Structure 1
Amino acid sequence: MEEAKVTFYRFDKCGLFEYGAEESKLGELHDFLNQLMVWVQRNGKPLDETCTYAIEESEDVSRTFCYDIVKNGVTGDFLLTTWNETPSYEGKVAAVNSKGKFGEAKVEFTKLPKDSIPGYATYFWIVPSKNVFASIRFQHVLNGKKNFDKYFKEFISKFSEYVVLGKSETSDFQIIGYAEKEDDDPLNLYAYLKTSILRKPGQTDYIVNNFPKIRKITRHNCLSPKLASSQDLWQKALQGLGLKKQKKLNSDVNFSYEFSFKPSKDELTEMIKEWEANHDSKWDDIGFTLTGEQNPRWLSNSLARDTFELDVKRVNDEVVDAQSILDQVTEKRDLILALLK
C-alpha cells in the first residue's frame, strides 16, 4: 500500500475553437485522449519524441513527455503518466553539499547515462464522463499540473487528428487549419485548454461572504531551497529572530506565520485566486479567523482533495505502474469521486 494524494481539477474548456466562440467547434475530451494514445504508440515512437512543444526562453515550464497512458474500457477513464524534465548541463546534473559553509558550499556534478532525460514522474487520472481529472501524488511535492496543461493543449494544437498540414519550405510541417474529415475544407481554429482546481461549495463562499469579520490570517507554507522567494522569506525570518549572519536554506522547511489583517473583498478574492493557482504542497494553506471564532477556516478544506491508500505496483523507485494505479482508482472509484459532491 502507498499513500496517494489526490486533487481534482475541472476542464473548463477543451477543444478547437472559432475565434470569439464559447463552444468547441471540433473535438471532445475523450476523442483527444484516444488520439493521444494512438499518437504515442505509433511506429514505436521513442520517449524523446512524445514531447508536444519546444521550450521558449521566456517560459518557466520544462519539457514534458508521455511516459505511459492506459484506459479502462468500461468506465472510459484514462491514467496518464508524464515525465517532467529537470535541468541539466552538458549531460550532467548539479547537487550542492547541504552541510557546506554559506557561500562556499561545494557543488558536484553527476554525469547522466547516454540519451537519458533527468526528471520525475507525475500521474493524472482523467474522467471524461465527469469532465474532470485528478493529479495523484506519491513521493513528490510537485504534481506536474502546469506541465500537463501545456502538454495536452499543444497536442490538440499540433498532433490531433483534426490537424490539416500544408507544404512548407522553411519548416518541417505547416498547419493550415483543422478539419473533421479528410475531404473537408480546413477551418481557421485555435486550440484552447482551460482547467481549474475543483472547489466544493461552502467554505470559500462563507469566507468571502463574511470578509468584514476577518480579523487574522494564518499562512502555512513549505519553503523550498529551489525558489528565490523562499530564500528571501527564510532570511527575513532569521533576521526577525535576531540572527544577523545569513544562513542559506538547504532543504524544505515547513513555515507558519500569522498576522492581524482585514482584507477588502477584492484583496481576499485575489488571495484565494493566487493560492488556488500556485499551491502544490499539501502543507501550503491559508486560514482566516473570523470575529467570534477561535479556529481558522482553511482554504484547503474547500478543495476536492484527500489522501487514499492505494495498492499499486512500482516499476522502480521513481515510477509507479500506470495500470496498477488505474485499477486501484477504478476499484475505489465511487469513494474517490465522492470528493466532487
Structure 2
Amino acid sequence: MAEGIVTFFQFNELGFYQRNSDYREDLSIEDIFDRVITWHKGRDKISETAPIKNGNRRTTYLKAISKNEETGDYLITLWRSLIAHDGKVYGLRKGQSIDDDAIVNSDESGGDDVIWGLPAYYWFIPSLNIFASIKFPETVTDLDIMTHYIKDFVYYRSNINNPVSETRTDGYGNEFESVFWEGPHGNLSFRCDAKRFKKITHQADLELVASDITHFVKKETIQEEGDEDKNWTRYFEGLPYVPKNKKKPDRTILVTVDARPSGKELKEMIEAYAQKYQSSDKDLKKSNLGFKTEGNNSQTIWLNEFIIKTFIEMPGDATSHYRHETFFKTIKSQREFLLAAFQNASDSKIA
C-alpha cells in the first residue's frame, strides 16, 4: 500500500472583484469545473490541455478531471512540466490522447515528444466548501499550481459571465491580451486564492500531539520609546536643522518555557489562542504562541500553522500513478475517516 498525505484548503477568494471596492460577484467551484470538464473532453491530445503557456512559469497540463455524481466531489490530476534533470520525473507524450494513461519513465528515450514532469492530485468537496492536495513521494502538491490553472482557465478558456478581451500594448511595444468583466460600477477581475485549512477540533488527537510537546513559546513585539532623545529635542521642536525624535526599532521577545501539557490543557490553550490571536498574518509576525516537540533547540510550531492533515492508503507503491476510478473507490471506503475533522463546521476557520 502507498500512503498519501492529505492537506485541506479553503478558498478565501473565488469570483469577480472590483478594484479598490468591496463589490464582488462570487463564483462556485462547480460553475468552473463543470465547464472545465466540457472543455477537457474536447481536447484531442494532452498537449492541448494547458489553458495558456506562460513564459514566466512552467506549463501545467490537465491529465484528468472527474466528478462523482453521488457526492458531488471532483478529482483533478494536473501534470506539472519539469525538465528531465530535475530529479525523478516521468513523461507524457505530447500526442497521446487525454484518455491514454501510458507513462514514460525517466530512463526511457523520449526526446522533444515527451512532456517531462510529475502529477499533482487534488480532491474537491464542494458540499463542505473545502479541497485537498494528496501528496505521494513522487508527486507535486504546490497550491499555486492549482490556483493558477483555475485562473488561466477562467481568463482564457471559459465564457463565464461573458468576458471582454482586448489587445493592448505594454511600455515596451509588446502586444498582450487583456481580459476583464463588465460590472455595474466598473470593470471586474477574476480572483482565485486559497489558504490551508486550520481548525480547532474536538476530533483532533490532541493527547498524541501533547505527548510530544517539550516547550511552549510566546512571541511578543514591543516598541521602544526614544525618551532620552525626546528629553532634549522637545525644547527645540520646530527649529531648522534639529533632528526629529527618531523612533527606535521594535524588539521581538521570545519566551520559552518547559511544558508537558495534557491533551485537555493543550485544547484549552488552542481555544484561548483562537479567541486572542485571530489576526492577520502581519499581526501574527508580532505576537504569537507555539510549541516545540524536540527540545529547546528544535523548530517552533506556531499555532497558526496547526493545520489539518490526514492520510489516505492507496493500492500500489510509492511510484504508482492513479486513475480516478481507483481514487474514488478508495475515498469512498475511507471517506468518514478522511473527513472526520469536519463534522462540526463551527470549529473551522480559514488560515
Same fold (TM over 0.5): yes
2:62 to 66, 72, 78: 66
Listed one character per residue, the Cα deviations across residues 247-303 of structure 1 (whole Å, up to 9, x for unaligned) are: xxxxxxxxxxxxxxxxxx999934999xxxxxxxxxxxx953799x99987459821
SS of residue paired to 2:330: helix
CA contact (8 A) 1:120 1:318 kept: no
> Structure 1's 65 and 290: CA in aligned 2 closer, same or farther, altered over 3 A?
closer
Give the TM-score normalised by structure 1.
0.59
Return the offset for 1:83: 0.4
Task: Determine if the alignment matches structure 1 residue 188 to structure 2 residue 187.
Answer: yes
CA contact (8 A) 1:288 1:296 kept: yes
Give me the identity figure in percent. Answer: 20
- The answer for the alignment partner of 1:269 in structure 2 is 284
Return the offset for 1:189: 1.7
Return the offset for 1:26: 5.5
Return the offset for 1:41: 1.1
SS of residue paired to 2:163: strand
> Structure 1's 272 and 137: CA in aligned 2 closer, same or farther, altered over 3 A?
farther
Partners of 2:294 and 2:255 lie apart in 1 by: 5
Task: Determine if the alignment matches structure 1 residue 339 to structure 2 residue 341.
Answer: yes
> Structure 1's 172 and 81: CA in aligned 2 closer, same or farther, altered over 3 A?
farther
Residue 144 of structure 1 aligns to which amino acid in structure 2? Answer: D
2:133 to 135, 149, 153: 135
1:214 to 239, 248, 256: 256
> Structure 1's 36 and 141: CA in aligned 2 closer, same or farther, altered over 3 A?
closer
Return the offset for 1:201: 2.8
> Structure 1's 94 and 152: CA in aligned 2 closer, same or farther, altered over 3 A?
closer
Q: Which has the larger radius of gyration?
A: 2
Listed one character per residue, the Cα deviations across residues 25-52 of structure 1 (whole Å, up to 9, x for unaligned) are: 263211101111111112x332112112
Task: Determine if the alignment matches structure 1 residue 52 to structure 2 residue 51.
Answer: yes
CA contact (8 A) 1:62 1:147 kept: no
> Structure 1's 297 and 329: CA in aligned 2 closer, same or farther, altered over 3 A?
farther
Residue 188 of structure 1 aligns to which amino acid in structure 2? Answer: N
Partners of 1:127 and 1:23 lie apart in 2 by: 27
- The answer for the alignment partner of 2:71 in structure 1 is 75
Partners of 2:198 and 2:216 lie apart in 1 by: 14
Return the offset for 1:53: 3.0
Task: Determine if the alignment matches structure 1 residue 306 to structure 2 residue 302.
Answer: no
> Structure 1's 302 and 111: CA in aligned 2 closer, same or farther, altered over 3 A?
same
5 Å-filtered alignment, 1:21-170, equals 21-22=21-22, 24-25=24-25, 27-42=27-42, 44-57=43-56, 61-88=57-84, 93=85, 111-140=109-138, 142-162=140-160, 163-164=162-163
CA contact (8 A) 1:8 1:135 kept: yes
> Structure 1's 158 and 323: CA in aligned 2 closer, same or farther, altered over 3 A?
same
Partners of 2:284 and 2:86 lie apart in 1 by: 40
Partners of 1:169 and 1:210 lie apart in 2 by: 51
CA contact (8 A) 1:94 1:110 kept: no
CA contact (8 A) 1:214 1:288 kept: no
Count residues with an aligned counterpart.
253
> Structure 1's 141 and 176: CA in aligned 2 closer, same or farther, altered over 3 A?
closer
CA RMSD of aligned residues (A): 4.6
2:328 to 312, 326, 331: 326
Residue 159 of structure 1 aligns to which amino acid in structure 2? Answer: R
Listed one character per residue, the Cα deviations across residues 57-103 of structure 1 (whole Å, up to 9, x for unaligned) are: 4xxx4211100011110211100001011025xxxx4779xxxxxxx
Residue 37 of structure 2 aligns to which amino acid in structure 1? Answer: M
Partners of 1:19 and 1:137 lie apart in 2 by: 35
SS of residue paired to 1:53: coil
CA contact (8 A) 2:4 2:312 kept: yes
Give the TM-score normalised by structure 2.
0.58
SS of residue paired to 2:25: coil
